[in-house]
Chain A
Amino acid sequence: MEAADLPLSTHRTVHPAWRELLSFNVIWAVVLAIVGYIVGHALGNTIAQHSAAELNPGGSDQEDIAVLLGMLGSIVGWIGGLGFFNYPLKRIAGRAPSLHEGEEQGMWRYFKLCTDHKVVAMQYLVGTLFFFFVAGLNAMFIRTELTSSNATLFPAGNYLSLVGLHGTMMLTMMSAGVIGPLGNWLVPIMIGARRMAFPRIESLTMWITVLAGFVLLSATLLGGFPTGWTGYAPLADQARLGIDAYLVSFLLIGIALVLVGINILVTVVTLRAPGMTWNRLPIFVWAMVTTSILAVLAAPVLAAALYMVMSDRSIETTFFISSSGGSPFLWDELFWFFGHPEVYILALPGFGIVLEILPVFARKPLWGYRLAVAGMFGVALMSFMVWQHHLFMSGINANLRPFYMFTTELISIPTGVIFLNGFGTLWKAKIRFTVPMLFCLAFFFNFLIGGLSGVFLSDVTSDVVTHGSFFVMAHFHYTIMGGLVFALMGGIYYWLPKMTGFNLNQTLAKLHFWMMFIFFNLTFFPLFAAGMLGMPRRVSSYNASLHTLNVFVSIMAFCLGLSMLIFLGNLVWSLVLKRERASDNPWHSKSLEWQIPTPVPVYNFEHIPTITGDPYGYGLPEAPVVDFGRRGAVAAEAGA
């Protein structure tokens, strides 16, 4: 379907507040979610009470069945309250389709099902940042507990829940953290389209992700969960009700990942504007494509594993119980088969952001574009072949260890390609040290340390010391926080003026960057030492000789938290209070999204553009990326 032929909604009515309140929106979602939980819970109790004696009626199985069905009810209520069932039901009833929902002007569209991808992206941004800060607050509590080597500020079981909440919330929200806000906002515009291929599903994934965050928080009402984000069975089978919240929340995220992935892949394949050949696709879009491939292929395995734990807990299957024919190794394998691609779902968008922003502030084309794309595909493909390195000490067949050591070492080749691309772009450049550029440079500094520590971990002999210790913690914080989160911050400072139409305060931004960079390194670098000196993960009591180190790290962590508060303060000040209008192209970028006006109109482009070059035409004054003059051209332009 020719993108230009889509009917644009010309009826823009702003409904009165009472009518908005009564229509399908998040308020009804909350109400119906609560109702759905009550109904599901009662239904679960009824079913379980009449179950066979083996299913322990009146005992923990009944509680699990009730809670799981209750959560299912609340999911149905949440989705229904937002109005996601309306379109399918209307179509079944034979009514005409509508391709646009909730796109009327007004603040209400941010609180309901809206098919404008830019609105969905902003909703995603607020949602993921909210949970990012909640998880970060949990981290501050963790570091508070670790200031003492044996006293307990928080009772031991609550501490484990704290650790699990921090890890799970960060991982789930940051998996959506780039692909949600930036992916959804940028991909259609960067390829010259007006929308995503499946706008309603796009909105659904956002609302599911937000629901998953709240379901995870509900674990606190159910007694917390003791397994950490890795959810190892059989401890997961043994735990109290709180782990059902973890299971359902993670399952929702898995579903959202699959849907988001499909959406992005179909959009990029089918909705590119004329002239947008694969060679001209922005590197950020390529990163979204490779991330989506991983999401679509890996997340279903997680969903299966989580479902098996739910079934072990409620209807007494024995997938993970060795005395009845199951095996804890089954969980290990299924979880990490997802778990390793998951960390590349986190890392690849970071690569994409950095390589997209670097050319703008180096004023040079992206160096080695094809190699960068190949590197991303290499990382994505190989991420499915390395997962046993999480299990080197677990008693897996000893013959497997050298093989997975080899594949894990190999994956550093495509990862290193990203560094080569970045360095080539910086070679003989004219660097402008704006805040997004600072974050990109910090990305390389941090990810290097993260990557090198990964080489230590991939070597089995060294892994005997460091597996399961704070060394691993430091490694993945360097790659995920030092890599992805720094890149995300850079991306937010870069694109938010376009997305919101308001400038962010640059003084606060610079203060945020320097504090975050310095205190991030001071917090996590000593943890490599803590791990090598024998401190396991997820413990609140440790060897007294590590006390000073831990106190130092905790103080640095509090300062890091302070830098994040400065970031939050900047967002509130610039976007809510000061609201200084941004110009169309403050960074003088040649990329397509900066060639359209700010704020971006609902329909993105007045006419679907013809793409005449890639977005990296720096150094050649006559290198345009787009020709807005011709409408609906079919043949691609030659050249560039």
Chain B
Amino acid sequence: MSAAPETVGRDEPHHGRNFAIIWAVATAIMVPVSIWVIGPHIPPGSLTDDTRAQHALDVALTALSMPVLMLVWVYLAYAVINFRSDPASETIVDGPPIRGNSRIQATWLIVSAVVVIGLAAYGTVDLLTENGAGGGQGSNPLAKPSDAKSALQVQVIGQQWLWTFRYPGYGGVETAQLMLPVNREIEFHVTSLDVVHSFWAIELGVKADAVPGADNIAYVKIFRKGSFQVRCDELCGLWHGHMNTTGHIVSGAKFDSWIHATATKYAAVTKTLPKYSLTYYPTPTRNG
């Protein structure tokens, strides 16, 4: 039922060269587009050192993925247009019996390996130089900022279904409101009292899981005043999607006055709180 392939004619187009040219042109267009047209619109903004690092990396990754995207799209389009069977033909004609090409296979493997290892190296260097880029690094962070010792410590406590915040440097006062000073290194210690939550402040570029019995540290330095959303990013039960709050970034002086006023207001409750610690072990069982 099927016929042998036609012998290659003298005016057979140079598919390889044609495809390569189209691909090169497409890549040359899309890489700058991804950096200068798409890039500025990529979240999460430039409010903090973490978000700037995330944004820069995402722009780089978008630009680097353009050659791959164009390779596949251009090839698929090229093949679909140029390598069709003749629909008018009654018999089914076979293509040439090409089973492989070791040079192309080797080239593909080597290039993809180089690209991938390069990406991993770039990602690692980026992560280490950007102080962990806002992600929770566990209790023993690998990438600490140079001014970590003078950072403002803020403990984020996740509980079902409310975020509270303790400031150990101000008597361990606990509030449900998150206020942060601008232009100061902040060291978040994220933990939980019951199940696994995740502290996600996208505008700050911070995400760290709140695990009971564990201390998860993330760093950020914020460059402008404003407000930001805090959401829970790990399913924690009924009100997981409603465990939201709004945080505020204010000047250093305003932060000082606020925290002292809050400490005074909540002095009675603060006396009854357990001593500030990196993890808490409330009793787990039955009936509290």
Which residues of the other chain, A, contact B95 by a CB distance below 8 angstroms?
Answer: 362-364, 428-430, 618-619
B265-288 at interface with A (beta carbon < 8 Å): 279, 281-284, 286
Residue of A nearest to B122 (CB): A459
Partner of A467, one of B83, B233, B286: B233
B209 contacts partner chain A, Cβ-Cβ < 8 Å: yes
Given contacts A461-B57, A534-B44, A619-B95, contact A395 B234 (CB under 8 A): no
Partner of A461, one of B120, B123, B279: B123
Which residues of the other chain, B, contact A230 by a CB distance below 8 angstroms?
Answer: 235
Which residues of the other chain, A, contact B80 by a CB distance below 8 angstroms?
Answer: 431, 441
Partner of A365, one of B76, B98, B126: B98
A532 contacts partner chain B, Cβ-Cβ < 8 Å: yes
Given contacts A363-B94, A394-B209, contact A536 B54 (CB under 8 A): no
Given contacts A410-B120, A534-B43, A538-B235, contact A428 B83 (CB under 8 A): yes
A130 contacts partner chain B, Cβ-Cβ < 8 Å: no
B238 A156 Cβ-Cβ under 8 A: yes
Given contacts A367-B99, A401-B127, contact A322 B141 (CB under 8 A): no
Which residues of the other chain, B, contact A448 by a CB distance below 8 angstroms?
Answer: 68-69, 72-73
- Whole-angstrom distance between the Cβ of A487 and the nearest chain B Cβ: 16
Q: How distant is the Cα of A398 from the Cα of B128 in the complex, in angstroms?
A: 10
Which residues of the other chain, A, contact B212 by a CB distance below 8 angstroms?
Answer: 234, 322-323, 328
Partner of A424, one of B101, B116, B205, B238: B101
Looking at B169-177, B178-186, B194-202, B250-258, the stretch in contact with chain A turns out to be B194-202
B25 contacts partner chain A, Cβ-Cβ < 8 Å: no
Residue of A nearest to B216 (CB): A395
- Whole-angstrom distance between the Cβ of A427 and the nearest chain B Cβ: 7
B36 contacts partner chain A, Cβ-Cβ < 8 Å: no
Taking residues whose C-beta sits less than 8 angstroms from the other chain, chain B's interface range is: 35 or more
B65 contacts partner chain A, Cβ-Cβ < 8 Å: yes
A398-421 at interface with B (beta carbon < 8 Å): 398-399, 401-402, 405-406, 409-410, 412-413, 416-417, 419-420
B85 A432 Cβ-Cβ under 8 A: yes
Q: How distant is the Cα of A469 from the Cα of B86 in the complex, in angstroms?
A: 47
A393 B116 Cβ-Cβ under 8 A: no
- Whole-angstrom distance between the Cβ of A395 and the nearest chain B Cβ: 4
A445 contacts partner chain B, Cβ-Cβ < 8 Å: yes
A588 B54 Cβ-Cβ under 8 A: no
Looking at A89-97, A281-289, A478-486, A539-547, the stretch in contact with chain B turns out to be A539-547
Q: How distant is the Cα of A429 from the Cα of B113 in the complex, in angstroms?
A: 28
Q: How distant is the Cα of A292 from the Cα of B119 in the complex, in angstroms?
A: 31
A235 contacts partner chain B, Cβ-Cβ < 8 Å: yes
A459 B123 Cβ-Cβ under 8 A: yes
A452 B207 Cβ-Cβ under 8 A: no
A428 B133 Cβ-Cβ under 8 A: no
B94 A537 Cβ-Cβ under 8 A: no
Given contacts A402-B124, A541-B241, contact A410 B116 (CB under 8 A): yes
A393 B198 Cβ-Cβ under 8 A: yes
Q: How distant is the Cα of A467 from the Cα of B234 in the complex, in angstroms?
A: 10
A322 B132 Cβ-Cβ under 8 A: no
A588 B1 Cβ-Cβ under 8 A: yes
Which residues of B does A touch, CB under 8 Å?
A: 1-5, 15, 42-44, 50, 53-54, 57-58, 61, 65, 68-69, 72-73, 75-76, 79-80, 83-86, 92-101, 104-105, 108-109, 112-113, 116-117, 119-120, 123-124, 126-128, 130, 132-143, 190, 194-196, 198, 200, 202-203, 205-209, 211-216, 229, 231-242, 279, 281-284, 286
Which residues of A does B touch, CB under 8 Å?
A: 56, 59, 156-157, 160, 226-228, 230, 232, 234-235, 238, 318, 321-324, 327-329, 362-371, 392-399, 401-402, 405-406, 409-410, 412-413, 416-417, 419-420, 423-424, 426-433, 441, 444-445, 448, 452, 455-456, 458-465, 467-469, 532-534, 536-543, 588, 616-621, 623
Known: A235-B195, A460-B127. 4 other contacts (CB 8 A): A234-B194, A427-B98, A533-B43, A618-B97
